[in-house]
């Protein structure tokens, strides 16, 4: 079965944030094989500001799952790790977002690829640029580094944190 290269964003702002990210990375197997993990960054919350700060990282995986099947697996992992429903953009124990599924462009009621808000998010673009600086966004036609460098706020203020990844 053929494998597809996928980029995922992981975030946590409740409980032991580092442990939540480590558990999520481990839980991706066997559906996904993690090939690279960015450094972890601490960031202020976006959109809904009255909540704790986030730990964020990006990982590169390969998978044989189709895009919707992968999305369902990510939601299953979130639930298994203790994520409960809450306000959109609100606090969460773990968040797994599908950023890119190779260079696929897809828009369904359930899934939009590439992730529709990734180009405005320093907490995604900064770690993603460490893994895939020259990856070209399939609809915007710009590299991840170029998108990062065009952020309206100072992305270099994100603080790298050590979470002892395996």
Out of 22, 97, 121, 148, which one is annotated catalytic?
A: 97
* Residue 103 falls in the annotated catalytic set: no
97 included as an active-site residue: yes
Which residues make Cβ contacts (< 8 Å) with residue 110, sequence separation at least 6?
Answer: 68, 71
Q: Determine how many CB atoms are found less than 10 A away from the CB of residue 20.
A: 24
Active site residue 149: no
Cα separation of 46 and 137, whole Å?
A: 22
Q: Which of 22, 92, 121, 148 is catalytic?
A: 92
Which among 17, 83, 121, 148 is annotated as catalytic?
83
Q: Which residue has the tokens 């290269």?
A: 5
Strand partners, 96: 10
Check the CA dihedral 156-119-151-43 and report its sign: negative
Segment (H or E) for 11: strand 4-12
Measured CA to CA in angstroms, residue 57 lies from 7, 18, 69, 107, 163 at distances of: 11, 10, 22, 25, 10
CA distance from start to end of the chain: 27
The one catalytic residue among 16, 22, 88, 95: 95
Active site positions, annotated: 83, 92, 95, 97
């Amino acid at each position: 079965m053929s494998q597809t290269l996928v980029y995922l964003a992981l975030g946590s702002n409740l409980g032991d944030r580092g442990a939540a990210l480590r558990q999520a990375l481990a839980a991706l197997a066997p559906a996904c094989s993690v090939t690279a993990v960015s450094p972890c960054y601490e960031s202020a919350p976006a959109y809904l500001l009255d909540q704790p700060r986030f730990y964020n990282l990006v990982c590169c995986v390969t998978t044989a799952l189709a895009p919707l099947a992968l999305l369902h697996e990510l939601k299953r992992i979130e639930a298994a790790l203790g994520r409960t429903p809450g306000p959109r953009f609100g606090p969460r124990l773990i968040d797994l977002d599908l950023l890119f599924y190779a260079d696929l462009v897809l828009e369904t009621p359930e899934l939009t690829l590439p992730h529709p808000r990734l180009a405005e998010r320093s907490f995604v673009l900064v770690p993603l640029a460490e893994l895939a600086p020259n990856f070209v966004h399939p609809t915007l036609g710009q590299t991840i580094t170029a998108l990062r460098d065009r952020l309206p706020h100072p992305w270099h203020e994100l603080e790298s944190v050590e979470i002892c990844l395996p």
